[in-house]
Amino acid sequence: MKPLRTDPALRIDILTLFPEMFEPVLSASILGRAREAGLVEWTITDIRRFANNKHAKVDDRPFGGGPGMVMMCQPVWDCVTSVEAQDPRPAKRVLLTPQGVPLTQSLVESLAAEQRLLLIAGHYEGIDERVIERLAPLEVSVGDFVVSGGELPAMMLVDAVVRLIPGALGHEASASEDSFSPVETTEGSKRLLDCPHYTRPREWEGRTVPDVLIGGDHRKVADWRLEQKLERTRARRPDLLSEGESPRRT
C-alpha cells in the first residue's frame, strides 16, 4: 500500500510482559492498514529482556506484606531508557493504570498529535512507585474497573489514537462525527454522543428507516442528526452538557 503522507509516521512503543498479545490486534482492520500505509509504526518490547538475573525475574513480593507481586524498578527503567534511545524523537511516556486520569476523546486527540508515544503496560499488583516517580509518565485509566494488566488498555489507547491520524479511516469525516467528537453549536463546541445509523433494507421486521433519511434533503438530514445527538446525550450522558444549555445547530 502506498503511504498516504510524507511526514514521519507516529511511532508507538509498547513495553509489556506479554508481547504475544499485541500482534493479532495491531495487524488487523484499521490498525493493520494504517501501518501498511506508513501512517504509524510500533515496536513491542518484552520487559523481561531487561531483567538482570538468570531467571528473568521482574517482580517480587511487596514490602509491608499483602497479596500479589510488584514489578521491580530496574527492569522497567532499563527497558524504557533502552527503547527511547532507539529514536531521537522525544517520547510521550504513558502508564496504563486504574489510578490514572480518564482516557477521554480530548486526551486521545492530544496524544494523536504527538510524534512518539511510549506505553508502559504494568501487571500483577502494579509497578514499584519509585520508578514511576522517576519516569514521571502520564498515568491513564480506561475506566473505573480493574483488568489483569495494562495490555488491553494499551490496545484500546492505540486504536483510539490511530483512527485520528489523517488517512487511517476510509472517510476523512468519520472520526470527526463519532461520539465525543466536538460539534459546533450556537453555544460553542460540545462533545455529544453519535446519532443512530441505518442501512438497507428500508424495512426490517416491521421497523422502518426514518423518512428524513431517505428524502434527499441534506440540510434536513443534518438537522435531524444533530437533534438525535442532543437527545441521546441528554438522555444517556447529561454530564456532557452544561446544566441549562440547549445548543442548536448553527
Catalytic residues: 98, 125, 163, 178
Map 152-201 to HEC letters.
HHHHHHHHHHHCCCCCCCCCCCCHHHCCCCEEEECCEEEECCCCCCCCCC
Helices 151-162 and 29-36 pack at an angle, to 10 degrees, of 60
Q: Following DSSP, what letter does each residue of 119-143 receive, concatenated?
A: EEE-BTT-B-HHHHHHH-PEEEESS
Contacts 24+ apart (CB under 8 A), 217-225: 222/249, 223/249, 224/195, 225/195
The span from the CA of 178 to the CA of 50, in Å, is 40
Q: What number of other Cβ atoms are within 10 A of residue 162's Cβ?
A: 23
Cis before 201? omega within 30:
yes
Whether 42 and 35 have beta carbons less than 8 Å apart is answered as yes
